[in-house]
Amino acid sequence: MKEDFLELRELVKIFGGDKNEVVAVDRVNLKVHEGEMVTLLGPSGCGKTTTLRMIAGFEHPTSGEIILEGERIKNVPPNKRPTTMVFQNYALFPHMTVYENISYGLKIHGRPEKEIKRRTEEVMRLVGLTGMERRSPTQLSGGQQQRVSLARSLVMEPKVLLLDEPLSNLDAKLRVATRMEIRKLQQRLGITSVYVTHDQEEAMTLSDRVVIMHEGRIQQVGTPREVYGKPANRFVADFIGKANFIKGKILRQTSDGETQVEVLGKTYNIKVERGAWSAGDEVVMVIRPESIVVGPGSLEAPTGKIRQSVYLGSQMVYEVEVGEYILSVEIANPGHERVFAEGEEVSLSFLERSLHVLPPEDK
Amino acid sequence: MRSLTRKSGEVIANLRLIWKEPLLFTSIIAIFYFLIVFVAYPVFGVIKTSLVVKGKLDFSNYLAVFSARYYFQPFLNSMFLGICTACIGTFIGFIFAFGLTRTTLPFKPFFRQTATFPIISPPFVVSLAAILLFGRAGSLTPYVKEVIGEYSIYGLGGLILVETIAYAPTAFLVLYGVLMAIDPALEEASMDLGASRVKVFGTVTLPLSFPGIASAWLLVFIQSLADFGNPMVISGNYRVLSVQAFLQITGMYDLARGSTLAILLLMPTAVAFFLQKYWVARKSYVTVTGKPTGATIKNVEWYIKLPVYSICILYTAGVFLFYGTIVYGSFQTLWGVNPTLTLKNYVQMFQVGKDYILDSLTLSSLATPISGVLGMFIAFLIIRKKFMGRGLMDFISMLTFAVPGTVVGIGYILAFNRPSPIFPIVLTGTAWIIILLLVFRNMPVGIQSGIAALHQIDPSIEEASTDLGADSNTTFRRITLPMIAPAFFSGLVYSFVKAMTAISAVIFVVSGRWNLITVAILGFVDNSQYAPAAAMSLLLIAIVLIALGIIQMIVNRIGRGTRITSIIG
């Protein structure tokens, strides 16, 4: 497996004229491994789709390089690139049947009729469209159209499969089912894929690695666990899941990375990268809502007051006022736990292992 | 500085991408060449001829025109005629559109068909009918004389009458689209808030359609100004620019003076065109999406119905009377003298006009597909491709809309009667000059319908094709073209109708060897042979209707069910 199968090097895309320049993609560096599923995740306007369209060749980079298997492809037109794209709105050819849609690319490449038939039928079986060859795309449901679109891209056996929010036009249930299917298919075929989405749940469940983008820049690249558990900055922490940000202070760091940190008057022992902090540093702690434990009573510090108490069935969601902060707290399985009412005094503690430290100036 | 280097970087990248698609690249170069040679260069020739005397820049032609009443009067006359026609035509068009969209007028399809019928006939057929009805031997002349006394149909009054009938449909089509596109919820909201129907009209409907009204007015104004056939037949002593420019050139052989008059004609039409395209169209509150919503509030009060219905019925009756007269007249032995029914006019028409009919059919059939394909391809380039000079291509290809036929005709004689550095072949007298003129005069219609159709197609469908390995030309052929086929065919119909009924520009380039049916009709009228002229006009209308039917059939086959007639205009 090649480590840098597809590489984006210092990729920049600037749109607009002299006065209204928009830097859509700002010095993006990324290496995609062979057979890997990488998701570009970010809010709308973060440059993820532009990046994808540059890989496909629909946008020409203002500067930087796109390297596929060691070859610079920036100046290769989209029709000559070994990439195929699944479009957000599927972009099926309305005047062709399902079969004609899927076999279109093979025909364009002048494959022999026999091979076209074999490969088209094979991929149709793969995505579960067998029997729909003669249908018109307009007669299909959203989910079926989505499969046609996927099949049309897969049949080309692309070196890189590009997916531009392919599930955003499906309803919620279908979205969940389809994303599992896409993931299985991708793993089975071992296709290197770049997937664009703004849905963090989608990104987390689908990807080998997630690339979080904001304002044209990559904020963090990592496995789903890494980006959730060890967010690189406040934006990532906030964007992936929910997070509470509380000021803290480093008290001591031993040589093996064991660190003592004081948060809300209490001392916690955490493990961080060695040499990242020194004693006396002001830091910001990232604390996930599910890493906070609330207990009865007001004796043990820190204490807080329940501002809002919401029962959601599978979990209990509180807003707790602690000094200058309003903290979100989520308690799973509320059936077995004591439930607090609004106005009650509670004591709080944090699960040591899930505390994460960020520098203070980071906004 | 940074953005400058970035710009040039983008330009180079663009060029490189285009270079990788040599077919696209050559297509763009070729289209530019054709547009320059067959659109811009002839118009430039007219301007140059009017401004350059003996190799030097000289305003003497203009000074002569402005100092002599004889030359300047036609300008005033044309303007006055244009304003009158535009006002009355827009008024009728609006009433008609209002009647069809906002009242319970019965037989709506019938009224709509009638209102658009004059568009598919050569405009001067109306003049011919006017002469048969109200001329010296007109069948209605004695009755009219009893009411208004001595009069002549030849002149301003007659011109306004015939041009109104001929061009009100243009206004109708524009306004029908606008009124259909106004969201009915707006009118309902106004009524819901307590406005009476009259108030709804005054405070919502009318203000919202105002850009449409301005647009319709300007379009009728342009058509009236550029009209050649009707004034040629019926203007009498009321001299207008298009006819005077023609007479200067074909009668006096004065190319410079003729060109100068043509430029006087070009200026107001160009101004009106650009006002319409770049100012009025931008002010528009309604976007015509092609998905008519249809108003729900129908006016049923008698004081609204009475005037609206009267005007609708009156205009429709007028159309019937005029075209009925043509039918009736084509069978009469001698109009106003010997009413015995006969077929000899048709015999005579075929004897004299056989070649004209064949020529017209041949040349139009050759020109129509070329202008259709070219129009679609240019629309594709303008909407979907990025290349240097895209704006310029858009501008030049729309230019022919703004330029009256008379100017184009004169331009073609000037440009192609001798070899020039950019086009070394003499075209005058050949079939090619007519075909090319028809192609490039009717191409904007194809471009327009192509642009409208392309706007409705998601660009990612074409990107998907490129992504799967097709180059631009393959994508156009296999994806874009099939999807815009209905628009393509309606563009074809319109081009064909225009080619068959054209007169103002082609009259300059016809020759002994290659002639056209419209010129033949005009010749009959000139010799006061009204009956054969009527017979030939009917034949022309019949050909156009048959072509329309055939293409509608093809479109139905393709299966989108788009109605051609509703796209015309």
* Residues of chain A scoring pLDDT < 50: 362-363
B112 near B313, Cβ under 8 Å?
no
**A91·B20 Cβ contact <8 A:** no
Whole-number Cα distances in Å, B287 to A101, A170, B284: 32, 29, 7
Chain B neighbors of A84, CB-CB under 8 A: 467-468
Query: CB distance B470–A89 less than 8 Å?
Result: no
DSSP tag of B278: I
Residue B287 has pLDDT above 60, yes or no: no
Instruction: Determine contact: B14 vs chain A, CB below 8 A.
Output: yes
A84 with B468: Cβ contact below 8 A: yes
Q: In this complex, which of B3, B467, B482 lies closest to A56 when CB atoms are compared?
A: B467
Span of A12-26, A146-160, B51-65, B181-195 with lowest mean pLDDT: B181-195
Q: Categorize the per-residue pLDDT at B194 as very low, low, confident or very high, splitting at 50, 70 and 90.
A: low
For residue A42 the two structure tokens come to: 């970010």
- B464: which chain A residues are within 8 Å (Cβ-Cβ)? 85, 87, 91-93, 152
Pairing label, strands A37-41, A192-197? parallel
Task: Give A95's contacts in chain B (Cβ within 8 Å).
Answer: 482-483
Please give the Cα distance from A258 to A252 (Å, whole number): 8
The Cα–Cα gap between A111 and B152 comes to 75
Q: Given CB atoms, is B482 within the 8 Å cutoff of chain A?
A: yes
Find the CB nearest B20 among A77, A91, A95: A77
- Phi first, then psi, for residue B68 (nearest 5°) are -100, 120
Rounded Cα gap, residues A27 and A42, in angstroms: 16
DSSP structure string for B447-508 = HHHHHHHHHTS-HHHHHHHHHTT--HHHHIIIIIHHHTHHHHHHHHHHHHHHHHH--TTGGG
Q: What's the pLDDT score for residue B60? A: 79
ipTM over 0.95: no
Q: Is pLDDT at B290 greater than 50 in this prediction?
A: no
Residue A259 has a pLDDT of 85
Cis amide linkage into residue A302, ω under 30° from 0:
yes
**Identity of the residue in B463, B469, B482 whose CB atom sits nearest the CB atom of A91:** B463
Q: Which of B14, B460, B483 has the CB atom closest to A87's CB atom?
A: B460
Provide the whole-model pTM: 0.72
* Distance from chain centroid for Cα B395: 18
Is pLDDT of B73 > 70? yes
Longest dimension (CA), chain A: 80
Greatest mean pLDDT among A202-216, B14-28, B333-347:
A202-216
Q: Are B9 and A105 within 8 A, CB to CB?
A: no
Tokens representing B53?
């005397």
B468/A152 touch (CB, cutoff 8 Å), yes or no: yes
Question: How high does pLDDT run on average in chain B?
Answer: 83
Q: Is the pLDDT of residue B245 over 70?
A: yes
User: Which pLDDT band, with edges at 50, 70 and 90, does B482 fall under?
Assistant: confident
Question: pLDDT for B368-423, tens place per residue?
Answer: 989 888 888 888 888 877 777 888 888 887 777 788 888 999 999 888 988 888 88
Task: Quick: pLDDT tens for B265-286.
Answer: 888 988 888 888 777 766 666 5
pLDDT band at B560 (very low <50, low <70, confident <90, very high): very low
Q: Given an 8 Å threshold on Cβ–Cβ distance, is B461 in contact with A14? A: no
Interval A187-244: pLDDT, tens? 999 999 999 999 999 999 999 999 999 999 999 999 999 999 999 999 999 999 889 9
- pLDDT score, position B7: 67
Q: What percent of chain B has pLDDT over 70?
A: 91
Interface membership of B406 toward A (CB under 8 Å): no
Q: Is B481 on the interface with A (CB under 8 A)?
A: no
* Nearest residue of chain A to residue B469 (CA atoms): A79
pLDDT of B288 over the 60 cut: no
Cβ atoms of A251 and A279 within 8 Å: the answer is yes
